[in-house]
Amino acid sequence: MTNLAPTPLSDRLRSLVDTVQHNERTLRRFQNVELRLIGAQDFASFLDTLFNVLPQEFALTGVTLWLDERAPMLLELLEPAALRSLDQPPGLKTSREAGAAASRLCDDGLPWLGRPRDWEENARHSFFGDVELPASAILLPLVAGNLSSGYLCLGSDDATRFVPGMATDILERFASIVAASLDNVAHRERLRQLGMTDSLTGLANRRYFDERLREECMRAVRYAAPVACLFIDIDSFKRINDTYGHQTGDRALAAVAACVRKQVRLGDTVARYGGEEFTALLQGDRGDALTVAERVRRAVEKLQLLDDRGERIVLTVSIGVAARTVAVPPAEALAFGRTMMEEADRAMYRAKHNGRNRIEALAPA
């Protein structure tokens, strides 16, 4: 029996089937990535999916994500201390220059496709840094509802992969999933923070401080680094409540909390430990801690808290200081940290006993 050559129609059908199967495989891969994004329990998992899983699934040379730190839902995710704890990926950008470059390219709200090497030099550097530029890329706006949170850039070493005029429906849908997942992660992080944040002052609460004490003492053990603690108590706080009322007392607490927060460094931890007591965990030795304590004492003394008649209410604090270089086995680090806290607490009570509005530091036991 003679074999017949395939007809042009059968060739077209085979090509059509191949295209359909390829699109189905692509959709399945997108769905797998989308499910990971939607199910991300925290910001670290979200970023891992974008920067590690997504490039592997689609053979991308790089992923760049610019997020707008001014967006209300991203304020806490993009705080410097939060990013440091994540070991910020190189592809995560927050600079205004990178955002301006992306917005100019997508000024109509539509994706941009083409060669990043055609961008202006400042735009290229602010968005990609010093990494090698992809041969082609697509820049996708991230919009959830009517709120824009940033831009996602996917790069390829194939110059023909992302070119102007190509269909972008699937990628635009993916971008909407990324934006919605980011919003979801931000809300989850917010709920987690609420469990570790004092609602009145906005500072960390005791639960969070105790966890940070453990982490900081472990770090101090590992690097033989000094660590210090301040115990801060508002003087005569009961008198303020009794004289001016609890609402004024709450304003006093909030004012002192904000004041303490401003006097410590960005990486230090400040918490409302209970009632009118605050604690600060500092990276530094005794001298550093005494300097910070004096800054706090002076700043609180100058606070302008007014009563209902517009008259100034004098606020002062008594501060206890303890500092150590943690030289114990890791298993004993937390107990050592608690001992340091107890020393700072006793020093604070000595400051109360010796006249208030002062600083005391006990010699280590």
Q: What is the pLDDT of residues 23-46, one digit of tens each?
A: 677 778 888 888 889 888 888 899
Asked whether the beta carbons of 168 and 137 are under 8 A apart, the reply is no
Looking at residue 171, its amino acid is L
pLDDT at 277 (0 to 100): 96
* Cα–Cα distance measured from residue 174 to residue 56, given in angstroms and rounded to the nearest whole number: 16
User: What does the buried/exposed string (b/e) look like for 11-45 if buried means 16 or more CB atoms within 10 Å of the residue's CB?
Assistant: eeeeeeeeeeeeeeeeeeebeebbebbeebeebee
pLDDT at 1 (0 to 100): 47
Q: Work out the pLDDT band at 221, boundaries 50, 70, 90.
A: confident
Mean pLDDT of the chain, nearest integer: 87
Active site residue 301: no
CA 287 to chain centre: 30
Q: Tell me the sheet residues that pair with 62.
A: 155
- Lowest-confidence range among 3-7, 52-56, 225-229, 314-318? 3-7
**Which backbone phi and psi does 287 adopt, to 5 degrees?**
-60, -45
Tens digits of residue pLDDT in 43-96: 889 999 999 999 999 999 999 999 988 776 787 777 776 776 677 788 999 888
pLDDT at 249 (0 to 100): 94
The overall longest dimension of the chain from CA atoms, in Å, is 112
List the domain boundaries for the chain: 14-194, 206-361
Active-site pick, 276, 294, 301, 360 = 276
Q: Hey, what are 16's tokens?
A: 């059509």
pLDDT at 145 (0 to 100): 62
Helices (H) and strands (E) in the chain, counts: 12, 12
As assigned by CATH, the class of the 14-194 domain is alpha beta
pLDDT at 365 (0 to 100): 52
User: What does the buried/exposed string (b/e) look like for 245-260 if buried means 16 or more CB atoms within 10 Å of the residue's CB?
Assistant: eeebbebbbbbbbebb
**Smallest Cα–Cα separation from 259: which of 208, 315, 205?**
315
What percent of the chain has pLDDT above 90? 51
Q: What is the CATH number of domain 206-361?
A: 3.30.70.270
Tens digits of residue pLDDT in 248-263: 999 999 999 999 999 9
pLDDT at 19 (0 to 100): 60
* Cα–Cα distance measured from residue 33 to residue 157, given in angstroms and rounded to the nearest whole number: 21
Across the chain, where does the E strand assignment appear? Answer: 62-67, 92-93, 112-114, 136-144, 147-156, 226-234, 269-274, 277-282, 305-306, 312-313, 317-325, 359-361
Average pLDDT over residues 300-327: 92
pLDDT at 17 (0 to 100): 60
Instruction: Name the DSSP class of 57.
Output: H
How many residues in total does the chain contain?
365
Instruction: Give yes or no for residue 131 having a pLDDT over 60.
Output: yes
pLDDT at 266 (0 to 100): 67
**Smallest Cα–Cα separation from 322: which of 357, 284, 296?**
284
* Cα–Cα distance measured from residue 333 to residue 216, given in angstroms and rounded to the nearest whole number: 9
* Cα–Cα distance measured from residue 338 to residue 140, given in angstroms and rounded to the nearest whole number: 49
Average pLDDT over residues 124-153: 88
Q: Work out the pLDDT band at 22, boundaries 50, 70, 90.
A: low
pLDDT at 5 (0 to 100): 56
Residues 6+ apart with CB under 8 A from 176: 143, 144
pTM to 2 decimal places: 0.54
